[in-house]
Structure 1
Amino acid sequence: MNKNKKVFMWYKIKELSAQGLNQSQIKLELGIDRGTVRKYLLMNEAQFLEWISTPRRMPKKLNGYYNFVKELLGNAPYLSAAQVEDRLKERYTNLPDVSSKTVYNFVQTVRKEQNIPKYKEKLPRQYEKLAETEYGEEAQVDFGSYRMLSRGSGRVKIYFFTIVLSRSRHKFIYCQRMPFTTESANYAHELAFEYFEGIPRRILYDQDRVFITDENLGDVLLTEKFMQFTNAHPFDVVFCKKADPESKGKVENVVKYVKHNYLKGRVFQDIDTLQKEALLWLERTGNAKVHGTTKRIPKEEWEKEKQHLLPYNGKPEKPFLKLPTHPVRKDNTVLYRSNYYSVPLGTYQDRDTKILLEEKDGKLFFYTGDNQLLATHDLCLDIGRIIKNNDHAREKSKTLQKTYELVLESLRHIPQAEQYLAEIENNRPRNFHDSLRVMQKNIERSSAEAINFALVYCYENKILNANRFAEVLNYFEKEQGLENVKHSICIETGGLNKQQNDDMQPQKSDINEYESIMN
């Protein structure tokens, strides 16, 4: 019971007692122990207030392990209470059965009494208010990403480039669906120069892999394409120290502003619409409202600053953006935004199989690595769905019929052929297609005479397994086997008329004779 509750309970007990209730009745009324009622009734107000103000000094169950914990924290102050608890259990088999919260409180007590902080205190960084840069002197660049709401129940991750003129705080943003490359970052720069109607003399950057290949102890090595870009435009490149975002705080604030004022709560439709709306947002809000630091409107300040910017005479040319890759699952589907989309059967080859994916106008386009269109699907706005194109599945019925016709054509000269195939299908319908493929494979490389002997033998002896049929066929294909059985098997149908053919009964041979031949 906390202190406030105790105070309330004391006054309530006194009130009920004054109304004539005895201790048992007060106990039932308040749902507390009768001993507590008696103890509270024996104290006047001054005694009660003194009692609840005096901290209870209960002996700690872990006091006997104080020196061990003190030494442990002294050698390794970074250890957590959970780690200390484990070391205690490891060292002492008779450790009292206490909760983890008790161990935590004990560790905190030891830290406080022995002045052992968990981490060394870092001296606060000292800041100095810098003078505003001159008009046209500087801009700052950074990237951001945000998971936007989508028209379905999931979210869509978008990436954006932002640049701000340091003096006027005039901003520009450019959004796209995939992470920025050097080419797309260069394109975003040119869009910004066109929007600003000029180029600042100096631009500050993070040490991002889009721009540099190596810090090289301050002598930064630029990526080849960014070096070509900077050589073609009259501005100086300045890179901040690694992991020091505060050195370009103006653009860091813009990134947060874009996320929480423009993107937050907005429903993603498509990237072109998002970019158009971004420019409209800049016009009415991002560059139109009074800036919190300068107390001026960025757009009005930009009217002054653009006169000091270096001229930009180029024309932005959108680069060919390589589409993002997505792994193909072994069931020939692609997982995208929590849904499974089918691709043609056989697309999956191994665990490294990937395809390119483009989302445009509410549709998904799947391409091979060499940009050949694989499949097209409507974008599903739900989650957990399987979106399947029936053309991607194996057309079993058509393939089976085609295989059956091929086999039957190969056996057309044998009267028993159609009946034999029907019996194979009735015997193992699920494996009938595979059986036909085995038969066709072996028939193609065998002579007509061997096929005749093998099929009649299998038909008469009810051998309804395609692999066994292949074994029999291979045997008869051997010259010596064929010579041995020619005298005992005779298929003569050419000289019979239809009536004789209908009345004819197939000749039956002694199975023992064939068994001796096969063995």
Structure 2
Amino acid sequence: MDKWLMYMEIHQLRKKGFSISKIARKLDIARNTVYTYLQRDPEDMTEWLASIRTRSRKLDPHKELILTWLKYHPDMSAAQVFDWLKEKDNRLMVGESTVRGYVKELREIYHIERTHPTRSYQAVQDPPMGEQAQIDFGQTKQKASNGKEVKLYFISFVLSNSRYKYMEWLDRPFTTRDVIRTHENAFEYFGGIPNELVYDQDSLIVVSENSGDLILTSEFQGYRQERDLNLRVCRKADPESKGKIENTVKFIKKNFAKHRVFHNLDQWNEQCLEWLDRTGNGKIHNTTKKRPAEVFIEEKQHLRPITNKKTFHNKMSITRTVRKDNTILYQSNRYSVPLGTYKKDKMVYLIITDDGRLVIHDKAERNVIADHRLETGKGKLVQDRNHTRDRSRGIPEYISHLAAKFNNPDQANDYLENIYHGYPRYIRDQLQLIRRTIEELDEDLMNQAMEECIKKKLYSANDFSDVVEYLKRQRLLNTNPKPPSPAVHPIKSLNDADESILLAKPSVRDPKEYEELFKGVVI
């Protein structure tokens, strides 16, 4: 409603004897707003409206961006708008209530309605600190960067007292081995083990409830005994007993995952951890009115310490995308691969060995391209020296070393010096390309390519590579020459008659003969 019309409506209802509360309910506004409007006379109201028309607000520079989000995603909550703004600019100094009011105003002005799905829950008393964690699975469908839709799966953990959360994502369904691995990661993230773990009846963990005597999957039963875990499985259709994790799953879907574009699993999990720090555990909880990260500092002291840290190795081969800096991400650490491995959407296989090694295989060739010691910390770069540029050797020495591989080193040295003068800024890349090219050649072919480039004055690594490919094709043609073409015979005439007959012409009569014939004929 327009502010001036609201002002007139409030004063009219007040004159009719309506109370402050009834006016607020009737106009669907706060009672403080009613008090404020009643205290202003028409002159004050006019001056105030004029001032707010010219007053700039903190979120005005982001108005078009927020409008775009709301128009494309009408069901987007103000809380998610707040999180996305913080993700775009973590220096933005604005409160969530300000964002909520701004979004509400934009919805009213531009008529963007939002539906609110409802579900009833019964309040449950919070357990003591360190007593309980709830675990559940979820899945979403996300739009990928290539325009297609992908299905993602996640497991989420929440400490029932502090509401401190953890989650991990996969681009395939979870296995029991994945569940055990993520439990270990969650305990490490929490810094301890809760006294009780509450689950839904999931087939990866529970075979049967058996009237209270749980029958677990064999693999998870072994893990339970090793860690001495106290489990409780909820009954079916009993959301109140695990309402905290259900709210967490819903929060993850609607605040983190909704409308977010999926690029690759590594980046997705990185964004997930950042979201946990920024919003999942950093934002004031709607029920407790406290930040989970702050309450967790105290609850962490009540968790059972991890006395025998379990190193869990995934013997299954998993895939990772090679990043632009020629590294892959595994459990929040970066591991190097050889320079030049990166290509768009390049995938590699990872295998974790029993002795704590991370072995990286090329997905296409299936050969080992890297072998690292598995790092147990987080945020570390594990780099093999062979995967870095050799900066200890200068360019002149590099040229001499490369020229020595040819039959005529002096001639090759002059050729490489010419490339150096033509591409001084990219000489190392040029030399590396020539080195990789000749590694696959025999001596005759590499020397022939050098002679051909010098003859035609082609001073470039790419030209050298093109000449090599041309010589390879020529060698292939010489090895497999084309079969001789069949002899061409003249076409024989079907008629055996003398050609003089074919050249004969019919006789032509004199027109006077026709005139004599037509004399006396009436036409």
State TM-score, norm by structure 1.
0.39
Q: Which has the larger radius of gyration?
A: 1
State TM-score, norm by structure 2.
0.39
